[in-house]
Structure 1
């Protein structure tokens, strides 16, 4: 069979309920299939080895229509011998998705069979996926670092009672400092406090082992809260990612630091997302199984065994891991102990930077806040917070610099109002709040939300979409595309040949110094061309259009419009008779028509006249397709009888015009 491409040029199609067979002919071979998904629909795809030469370890990935990797999966069920794969995802806004059939780490070949099924949406909320049923009764937690040679105490009755038989090898000052950083990160999002004590009967008793666990894959463990005993945590000094040196695995982004946070959260009652009572839907095993929409991974919860942005595969022992409680951890902690509403109440700035090597969830209680990037690479800044539904974005949206594995997500209930891009080609996405997006240099895409947003493109060829709400759009220098969508928007261009669309609502659109294309859309719009030879379309509604300087082309569209050409040789275009209906209050008004200089273009209007339109001066109608002039003092009304019934079907009022002739008309 011919090899399938591993990109969106594939013509192979995966249909629901029908098995499709394929083959991985070589190592690192990957096959792509198209699948159409309806908006909001949920899909489960399975890959199984088949035939005499089956793929021995299947691996599935799914990409959206823009080639963004959505989720990946290596396991179909909890059987240790199972080497098939299954993944679960939803279609978001719908469209074509791409299923990638491969093998684990691209290291095996063989035949496979794919199957796709539409399934019911997962039940429940992502807020519940870390529930263990355990909770501390107190929120002021004392912490004891068990010194070298000692073991943790089980209870307060006698020091001879032991909860764990591991002897501590003692802690360095640096290691304790990194624990304090983790305590601070947890206390910043929920109402608990941690106090270091010399009391061996403390609530948290922390043991560091250097020689007894004998397994560097066992990074640590922590007992869940209990009403009868303290919580003991044991950490493996020989575990992967542990380092007692600065810039090592105990720094933000390191696996050792993520392990500290993970185990401390066990001590507060959080469970793993693959084995809690309400585990992430579609999750069967701990590792390489990311669950519905990939939510069983570190960028969403540090309680996952799939660290960092596991979907990408770019995770190391010292870099690219989560750096504190993530979005699902935060909501789980706040459900148990309440939200810390004193954190970050000012106007805070969260900075993305090149080579950012950790993931962080933003918990910000108040203020006017911004995520920004000041570099030259392309970046994505998404101000939408986690909504905790199982659909795409339910656990948060990623803000990161392209080419680097680190960035931010925004926790449930948080509003970040501003996004500032750098000099690259950036994508900035607003939240439901009133957002301010600034693209700066580069060819940027700015997408408004449901609030009253301000979008500033900056230099470069930018695309601005206002979304719902009353938005302000400014393209800046460059050839920009600006779309207001719904709401009463203010849209302005500066330099460059810009394309502007008002969309719904009463919009104000202002062109710049070059040749612009301006569409008012529906609503009573106010449009100004500015300098340059502009093309302006009013659309539906009673629009006020001023071409400004330059030789402009102005179309009022449906509704009684007021049209001003401004300086230059302008043309006023009418496509159908109803663009300027007959009668006062129905017809368009041209305020500054200059005979011998400006033109009225009626050539597109359909009539029943076999020979087209004809100008008959001031005499009465006597046939179809005739244009006549009704002079009223210094003003004139140009009338058209399209069907020959003797009545005007179109009228245009021309102010201060007394000498209109056929040479002023395009027929």
Structure 2
């Protein structure tokens, strides 16, 4: 008989109101949980339960298969392992024909309670404990398919047989908080959506949950432990825009009855990816524990009149803070996507479209693609790559690498010691606080160091460099650059004659302060330059002379000793300089 000789144990509260709201106080305590679908009623004892056995009808093959796939990771294929009890808990499950199986399912045409639906018995030592019955009186439960009422009823009743209680009622440890009391969080509540009446479900025909949901998984893990071996490799999850199928490493993990996606993902470990590259919609992907992602509003389950699920896929909660179950990477589609990471080292690829990518905690890599993207590194040492389009990149905290690539990009290092590279296009680079390095590369770029001791490199193009606060180093590179050191003792570097040649592309320093700032010419000639002051080149050795022209100061450098000026630097204002203002 079910329950006879099957051990149970006491379960204490978890301390999490959402979990405790569906948590019963008894769980099975045997090493292996035996499950079955008795073909005849003779396995049930006399005086059994409430007499359901007298109307016993064997569960259909479809019912039995769905029960097995919901509990036993060995049933079905490797792709659906993570959606089974054995796949996300530490409980071993075995199929059995024994009369003493812990969980047995059957139909009955004898409805002693007048439910007209289905019911189950909690774990105990009683003869009926763990048994699940489906009434044949009012509903047809014979064909459970992911997303329909028969399926969610199957999972709901199996939850009771495992020790879970109703979320909408006060049970052993309270009720599920109002903010979580819906099918989006648990199949154990009668509320289809938050704020709904706890009466009959109001979901559309194919709008029911397609898996155990996050509170169910968390509560069952509190009872039976967590499984970190299922999908513990580098798992790739994909979804079909046309059918709603959930694909795990290319195999079908959930095959819904209609084009809806409404499930929760538990992953045991590895470096995993949500790959939505097949989608052209505006994706909203959130990898945080307990968060929801929307792939396509047309694939959202309708939970009631005007009420839709907040997401297509929900992330499982962490088990005791263990981050192995996190999804690390995400790949967007061709629409205007929004992607947010978690505390892991995420890699977010936006794909085409005007995307917004947010790294959150961890050392993240964020990559735009074509079009105009916005990237936020947030906490951690992040790498942000705009790639094509006119992109905006924000490093935020810590030491980040920001790369604009093509387009006219705006890069903001913000806090930390950041590296900003504009690459092609007319870029705007702002280091923010910290000791930053800014590289304009091609194009007419604007570089602002911000606070800290920064190094600015304009490279090619007519660039504008602002050191701002701190003792900064400014290198204009080729092109007629304008450089402003700002506060602090700044160094203006010239490393090649083409940085500011006499014939054109002459650089201007707008705020040079003699005695504080310096001009570094040490890399220009084979021998150190001499300082001649106001006058003419000596003609005998490389040197530097000064001129006052139209209210400004001009620096001329003869780099080969032929008495001809090769390099010219203009300083705003009439200034008196000495050799101490140079690095030769």
Fold conserved (TM > 0.5)?
A: yes
Verify the 8 A CA contact 1:549 1:566 in the aligned structure 2.
Answer: yes
Verify the 8 A CA contact 1:297 1:308 in the aligned structure 2.
Answer: yes
1:173 equivalent in alignment to 2:173: no
1:141 equivalent in alignment to 2:33: yes
Match of 1:479 among 365, 368, 390: 390
Match of 1:490 among 395, 401, 407: 401
Q: Does the residue aligned with 1:358 lie in a helix, a strand or coil? A: coil
Verify the 8 A CA contact 2:190 2:201 in the aligned structure 1.
Answer: no
Match of 1:600 among 508, 517, 527: 508
C-alpha displacement of 1:477: 0.7
Q: Does the residue aligned with 1:176 lie in a helix, a strand or coil? A: helix
Verify the 8 A CA contact 2:412 2:430 in the aligned structure 1.
Answer: yes
CA–CA separation in structure 2 for the residues paired with 1:342 and 1:658: 67
CA–CA separation in structure 1 for the residues paired with 2:112 and 2:544: 97
Q: Does the residue aligned with 1:325 lie in a helix, a strand or coil? A: coil
1:517 equivalent in alignment to 2:428: yes
CA RMSD, 1 decimal: 3.5
Q: Encode CA deviations 1:283-321: one digit per residue, 9 max, x unaligned.
A: xxxxxxxx13xx11122111121247898x997454232
CA–CA separation in structure 1 for the residues paired with 2:555 and 2:473: 10
Verify the 8 A CA contact 2:22 2:166 in the aligned structure 1.
Answer: yes
Verify the 8 A CA contact 2:482 2:510 in the aligned structure 1.
Answer: no
Match of 1:468 in 2: 379
Alpha-carbon distance change, 489 to 214 in structure 1, aligned in 2, over 3 angstroms: same
Alpha-carbon distance change, 213 to 572 in structure 1, aligned in 2, over 3 angstroms: farther
Q: Tell me the TM-score normalised to structure 2 length.
A: 0.73
Verify the 8 A CA contact 2:512 2:571 in the aligned structure 1.
Answer: no
C-alpha displacement of 1:398: 3.5
CA–CA separation in structure 1 for the residues paired with 2:222 and 2:378: 33
1:306 equivalent in alignment to 2:188: no
Verify the 8 A CA contact 1:494 1:513 in the aligned structure 2.
Answer: yes
Q: Does the residue aligned with 1:131 lie in a helix, a strand or coil? A: coil
Alpha-carbon distance change, 557 to 213 in structure 1, aligned in 2, over 3 angstroms: farther
1:263 equivalent in alignment to 2:263: no
Match of 1:162 in 2: 48
Match of 1:203 among 98, 102, 112: 102
1:401 equivalent in alignment to 2:296: yes
Aligned length in residues: 470
1:369 equivalent in alignment to 2:272: yes
Match of 1:253 in 2: 147
Verify the 8 A CA contact 1:479 1:497 in the aligned structure 2.
Answer: yes
C-alpha displacement of 1:346: 0.8
Gaps of 5+ in 1: 1-122, 154-158, 283-290, 387-395, 606-628, 640-650
Gaps of 5+ in 2: 1-14, 73-83, 245-259, 301-311, 514-531, 536-541, 560-565, 576-584
Q: Which of the two has greater helix per residue?
A: 2
CA–CA separation in structure 2 for the residues paired with 1:558 and 1:604: 14
Verify the 8 A CA contact 1:152 1:232 in the aligned structure 2.
Answer: no
Q: Does the residue aligned with 2:97 lie in a helix, a strand or coil? A: coil
- Within 5 Å, which residues of 2 pair with 1:413-452? 413=322, 414-452=325-363
C-alpha displacement of 1:191: 2.3
Verify the 8 A CA contact 1:326 1:411 in the aligned structure 2.
Answer: no
C-alpha displacement of 1:558: 0.9
Q: Tell me the TM-score normalised to structure 1 length.
A: 0.64
Verify the 8 A CA contact 2:555 2:570 in the aligned structure 1.
Answer: no
Verify the 8 A CA contact 1:549 1:567 in the aligned structure 2.
Answer: yes
Match of 2:231 among 323, 344, 351: 344
Q: Encode CA deviations 1:119-161: one digit per residue, 9 max, x unaligned.
A: xxxx95433222221222324222332336x3772xxxxx323
